[in-house]
Amino acid sequence: MNAFEVRRNRLYDWMAMEGVALAMFEDCESRRDPSLRWLTGQPGDALLFLSLDRQSLLVPWDINMAVLYAQAEMVVPYAEFERRPINALRAAVEFLKTPFGSKVEIPAVTPYPVFLQYVEALSDFDILCRNSGIQEAAQQLRAIKDEEEIRIYRKAADITNNIITLLENNIRSGSLKTETDVALFIENEGRRQGCDGTGFETLAAGPARSFGIHAFPPYTGGPFAAPGMSILDFGLKYLGYTTDVTLTFVRGALSNQQEKMLTLTERAYKLAFSMIQDGVSARKVAVSVDALFEKSKKAMPHGLGHGIGLEAHEAPALQSRSDNTWQLKPGMIFTLEPGLYDPVMGGCRLENDILLSDTGVEALTKARIIRL
C-alpha cells in the first residue's frame, strides 16, 4: 500500500464514523485545496471523490499530468463533464454507486448560492457543506507528516541549507548587492538544485525596510545587507512541500538598542526550542516567548510559528491566542520564528523549520543571524 492509499484510508475511516457515503475535494483557481495532492499526488486543478467503500475517482483538468503524477482507482478527464463540478458530482454518485438518501459532502468553502445548486441537482442525496467536515479532517491529519513526507522535507531542508551558505558567501563577496539580486539568486539556484520553485514570494528587506514583518513590496532594487539589520525570509518548494526560513544579516556597528533586539530574538528562539516535546501545549510555548519579550518591555507582533507542508502556513499554530488548543506531536514540522521590529532601528527575525519525532526535536534548517 503506497502513501496515498494509506492517507485515503485514514479519511475513509473518518467517513465511516461520520456516516458520509461520498466526499468531494476541489482544487481549482478560485478554491485551492492541497489536500487533493496529499491524497493522490495530482499537482492540482482537479476534483477528487472518495467513496465509503474505499474507492477514489480523480477528475483532472489535465489528463496528461494525471497519468504522470496521480494515483487513484479511477481517473476521468474533467472535460467529459463540461468542466462543471456539479456534473462531475452527479457522475460520481453513479460511478461509485452511492446509495440514494445518503450523505454526500462537498467542500466547506463552497459559496452558499453554489451549495443550493448542488442541493437542487442532487435532490436524492443529503448534501453536507460544513466547517467541521472532511476538509478540516484532512487538514488535521496533514499536521502529522508520514515517513515519505519527512523524507521529502529532509531533502528540501538540505537544499535550503546549501543556498543559505551560498547566500552568505555571495553577500560577503559583494556579488549580491540588492534585494532583487538576493531574491532572484534564490529562485534560480533553488530550481538549479531541483526545487519546484519558491514556496512563497521571497521577502528581502534591507535596513531601511526591515522594520516590516512582511516588507512591501517583498523586494526592491534597493541595497541589501547594507549597514544595519536586513531581513531575508524565503522558502523552497520541493515535490510540493515548502521550507520557510528567515535570516537576519547584520553589517557594521549597531546601537545598544539594536544589539538588545538581536540578543532577545536569539534568546527567544533558544527558549522556544528548549520547550519542544511530545504533548507540550503550542500555546504555552508561544506565551513563554511573549513573556520573555515583555520582561524587556518588548512585544512580538506576530505568532511564534506555524506548521508547514504543502502550504507555507498549515497546522499546528504556535501562537498565544486563547483559542489555540494544539498540542505538539511526533511527526509535526513547524517553524519557530521570533522577531522584533522598530520603525527607526529596523527589524530582526530568526526562523527555522523544526521536526518533532519520537526520538526528540531537530532543526532541519540552519538559518541564523549572520554578522558580516
Q: Among candidates 300, 360, 359, 361, which has minimal Cα distance to 334?
A: 361
User: ∠ CA 42-47-52 to the nearest 5 degrees?
Assistant: 100
Please write the tens of the pLDDT for every residue from 113-142: 999 999 999 999 999 999 999 999 999 999
Please write the tens of the pLDDT for every residue from 131-180: 999 999 999 999 999 999 999 999 999 999 999 999 999 999 999 999 99
Domain ranges of the chain: 3-142, 147-371
Instruction: Report which DSSP code applies to 348.
Output: E
Give Cβ neighbours of residue 305 (< 8 Å, ≥ 6 apart). Answer: 272, 286, 318, 319, 334, 335, 336, 337, 351, 354
4/142 Cα distance (integer angstroms): 12
What is the mean predicted confidence (pLDDT) over 210-220? 97
4/199 Cα distance (integer angstroms): 22
CB-hemisphere CA count at 13 Å for 214?
A: 5
Mean pLDDT estimate for the chain: 97
Cell of 90: 452527479
What CATH number does the domain located at 3-142 have?
3.40.350.10
What is the helix, strand, coil percentage profile of the chain, to 5? 35, 25, 40
CATH of 147-371, one of 3.40.605.10, 3.20.20.70, 3.90.230.10, 3.40.50.300: 3.90.230.10
